[in-house]
Chains A and B, each alone.
Chain A
Amino acid sequence: MQSKMKESDPILQVENLFASTDNLPILKGVSLTVYPGEIHAIMGRNGCGKSTLSKIIAGHPSYNITNGDLKFLGQNINSLEPEERAQSGIFLGFQYPIEIPGVSNLEFLRVSTNARRKFLNQEELDTFDFEELVKEKLELVKMDQAFLSRSVNQGFSGGEKKRNEILQMALLEPKIAILDETDSGLDIDALRIVASGIKKISNSRTGIILITHYQRLLDEIEPNFVHVMADGQIIKTGGSDLALELEKKGYEWTDNFVKET
């Protein structure tokens, strides 16, 4: 799925998306458009559908799109496999990065990077060239090389796992990154490292969706838009002020909003 789009065209369009899992509706008409260079924040209570939205964009096989469209670089991706979406430039940073015992982090990163490079018609990297590249990217998230020889995320602390996610993002150079609660479980220093890594990777050609509960990540990375989700819908969109408002008011008003509508 190669793009012939203009730089001003949207990267991601979520159009009136309804989705369910085990016949249980989770998303009930979500619409969202992300243009190059934009940072969007999605906030909301636990269980409002934020993480589900991120998994559906990434193509999780447990969820079914029952209505609506997902478009990436102008093309419908509803039926694309997760790996096809990832290769074409969609990145999901996991809230709880998965441990894969026995699979070396270095090999995992190399195979992933080469899958993306192959899609971009770039030369695949052998182990030596890849090590050079990964060393450079490790600097972004201040990770030690020792992490490369360990199994993927196994025995990593919460902060190390999140930094490993940002390292993957840096290597894959996605068009859009959806970062699901990347700030959870991080102390202040780790949060700054992760935020600084995200800022260095993002540019005027990429889009970012930050899913978060807290203002503290948005203090480090200022979003262009803040969306509030409740009961599987985006019920309000605003600027970065909206996040500050939520910090003060909490989410109770979102419950009332859902009841009223």
Chain B
Amino acid sequence: MEIIEKIKKYKLTVEQTEIQKICLHKLQSSPLPNPKSELWRLSNKSKFSNFLDFSLNEKDLEFDTPYPNTSQSIIRLVIGENCQTKLIEEDYSIQQLSEEELDKYIKEQISYFDQNENWSNLLNLSLSCKKNILGLKIKGSKIPPIEIFSHASSKSLSAKTLVIFLEKNCNLELLQVNLGKQKSSLSQSTFFFLEENSSLNHGVVSYGKNGSNLLNSLNVIQKSNSAYNLGSLHFKFNYARFEINIKQSEGNAKTNIKSMQITKNDEQISTYTKIDFNGPNGFLDQINKSLADDKSHAIFEGSIIVPKIAQKTDASQLSRNLLLSDLAQIDTKPQLEIIADDVKCKHGATISQLNEEELFYMRTRGITLAEASKLQLSSYFQEIISFIPVSKDRWDLLDKLLNEN
């Protein structure tokens, strides 16, 4: 019950919203994730406990890491800072959801929550105050790319929530950046609802600092003929957990995912994905890459659910992993649950080290071992980075990964 006590203590000063009360009530029946559950079994207990060690901060201190300059064509939003968002142009409109709309949507989502599967969302919604929930309704065409930031402040726990409705025939490029500060915890929950014929190119870059922690939960509902493309990158967290739940609610939708997590020192970063096909002719192409060095631990668990209704599903899930040290650990478990009998589904996992023959070849051309390793790693990273939309060049992701991490 310790976590509940902590949350209650956090809330003494501020009146709880109805959603917070509902989530807190649900958490009371499972105050901590069940450690025996497959979804939490490998989670490092002491690191997870460290996530909850900080006191809740609803008021962000100014973030002293400067965001890279934005170009005029990009819309930039910071959760917790942009209280009013209303952009109506000739071709498109971006409007903030009303409190009623947000409440209704979130309550509906909560009603489907499973305590173990959605524990991170329950925690997020029990902590996230109104100011830190950004809800947007986007429609139209020729929408400029959007960057949305969430960040944690040092020595505190921050909870941010993002809800986006993408209306029919709408195409959007969105980069979500989660920045961790030294010794901080960030709980980020994101909910997307993609209407028919809409398409979202979504990038998630989660970039921590020493001792920062992240619980990042992404929930996507896709209507028919929608396309959802995700490129994601998580690195430099003491403890990070990325949960992806995608539901193709009517089938006939496309999902592409290219995700990567990089761990060093004694970090633990995990990615859990659940792709649920709830109609026929669904498509999924997913690759998850993990790279683990030093004494770190990377985890990937992916499940693809294909019930009887999801005939003609075409799904592929691949887990590719690089183990760079004898003491590093990678756990990977891509899995399929197929009931439908007319589907094309495949999955696979590989774990390897840097290719020694490639390294030797480069060294015989005068390239040092360190440079050769960087070249190999950059090619490994490039596949994912090139899939992350919006301002990936300005963020110098490759440079960060090769030289800072």
Contact = CB atoms under 8 A, between A and B. Distances in A.
Contacts of B383: 102
B382 A102 contact: yes
B371 interface: yes
Interface in B356-385: 356-358, 360-369, 371-372, 375-376, 378-380, 382-383
Contact of B365 (A101, A102, A112): A112
16 contacts: A82-B364, A83-B368, A85-B364, A86-B364, A91-B364, A102-B379, A102-B383, A103-B376, A103-B378, A107-B375, A108-B365, A111-B365, A112-B365, A115-B368, A119-B366, A172-B365
Contacts, number: 73
Nearest to A174: B366
Given A82-B360, A97-B361, A100-B361, A116 B379 contact: no
Nearest to A168: B365
A92 B362 CA distance: 11
Interface stretch (A43-51, A53-61, A128-136): A53-61
A214 interface: no
Contacts of A59: 363-364
A115 B367 contact: yes
Given A103-B378, A115-B366, 13 more contacts: A82-B364, A86-B364, A94-B364, A98-B358, A98-B361, A102-B382, A102-B383, A111-B375, A112-B362, A112-B366, A115-B367, A151-B379, A172-B365
Nearest to A89: B366
B112 to A, nearest CB: 40
A87 interface: yes
Contacts of B371: 111
Interface residues of A, number: 30
A100 B379 contact: yes
A103 B367 contact: no
Nearest to B371: A111
A61 B366 contact: no
Contacts of A115: 365-368
A67 B314 CA distance: 59
A81 interface: yes
Contacts of B376: 100, 103
A100 B358 contact: yes
Contacts of B361: 94, 97-98, 100
Contacts of B378: 102-103
A59 B357 CA distance: 12
